[in-house]
Amino acid sequence: MRREVAALMLLMGALLLAPAVMQRPDRSLADGAAVAASGEPIPLERLSVAPLVRRVAPAVVNIAVAYPSPYAQNPLLRDPYFRRFMGVPDAAMQPRLSAGSGVIIDATRGLVLTNNHVVGEGSAILVVLQDKRQFTAELVGTSPGTDLAVLRIPPERLVAAPLASSDTAEVGDYVVAIGNPFGLGQTVTAGIVSALGRGLTPQSGMGLIQTDAPINPGNSGGPLINMRGEVIGINTAILAPGGEGNIGIGFAVPASVVRQVLRQAKRAI
């Protein structure tokens, strides 16, 4: 009788342990996948933005702009003798250089989008592609009110990034910013859409996309991209109280505004 009771207890213990054993995650899943809220495994490659970056990065360009030296505007300072007399070094007469970012938006026409404040009143604009090719760019359209500018370069083996057909971004969407911060070269940062319809001033009639994806000096004019690889905005500004640099509050001009400026530029070509 004791043997029968012991056997019955062992059998019941095995039945209680079976569900736990069956529900224990497979070692291969633990090593090679995460688990979604639904319980479905997510392959690790889906947790990376690398495939998206590889597809879009060739469309992102660096922009170098030359501005005339303010000293060169003074007729007296063009005289070397007078410069020595005034203590102005010859190097002060050289053009000033600034750098920003842009994105190829139309490969067949060679159209590049950037910020208006990046190109400003530059006397020469140089566009550098990811593959290191360099082109002198023509300024074909500007919109100071939206801080956008359209450049044109020779359409030679270019890769364009698709522009989102409408403003479909929602707060909480993951986004990626690509640009050339501090002249370091092409750099990728990621974050989410923090808010929509933001204005930099109370008088601003344009609603900007706010994001916490780091946007640093030199990122201006680069694209803000959604997880489908579409350009949902052009990075334009950051909020930096006291000049502290990036604090996680950046702004991008939305795709709907970009599309209007691009349409006007195409009509002018």
Structure tokens at 136: 């002198």
| 263, pLDDT greater than 80 | yes
Measured from the Cβ of residue 6, the count of other Cβ atoms closer than 10 Å reads 10
The model carries a pTM of 0.73
Spacing of C-alpha 76 from chain mean position: 44
pLDDT for the residue 166: 77
pLDDT for the residue 33: 47
Q: Which H or E run includes 81?
A: helix 80-86
| 150, pLDDT greater than 50 | yes
**Which of 180, 203, 181, 189 is CA-nearest to residue 248?**
189
Strand intervals (E) in 75-186: 96-106, 111-114, 124-128, 134-136, 138-143, 148-152, 174-179
Structure tokens at 69: 């030296």
pLDDT for the residue 99: 83
Any idea which residues carry the catalytic annotation? 117, 147, 220
pLDDT for the residue 8: 38
pLDDT for the residue 125: 92
Q: What is the mean pLDDT of residues 191-215?
A: 80
Q: Which H or E run includes 190?
A: strand 187-198
pLDDT tens across 7-33, in order?
434 444 444 444 443 444 443 334 444
239 vs 26 pLDDT, higher one: 239
Of 64-78, 120-134, 174-188, 193-207, the least confident = 64-78
Q: Are 266 and 259 in contact (CB under 8 A)?
A: no
pLDDT for the residue 130: 92
Of 94-108, 208-222, 233-247, the least confident = 233-247
Measured from the Cβ of residue 175, the count of other Cβ atoms closer than 10 Å reads 24
For residue 161, what pLDDT band results from cuts at 50, 70 and 90?
A: very high
133 vs 77 pLDDT, higher one: 133
User: Which one-letter amino acid corresponds to residue 133?
Assistant: R
21 vs 231 pLDDT, higher one: 231
| 239, pLDDT greater than 80 | no
pLDDT tens across 99-109, in order?
889 999 999 99
Q: What is the mean pLDDT of residues 82-87?
A: 62
- Most confident range (mean pLDDT) of 89-103, 178-192, 217-231 is 217-231
Place of tokens 């054993």: 21
**Which of 239, 253, 240, 264 is CA-nearest to residue 150?**
264
Average model confidence (pLDDT) across the chain? 78
pLDDT for the residue 18: 42
For residue 198, what pLDDT band results from cuts at 50, 70 and 90?
A: confident
| 85, pLDDT greater than 80 | no
Q: What is the mean pLDDT of residues 162-166?
A: 88
pLDDT for the residue 234: 95
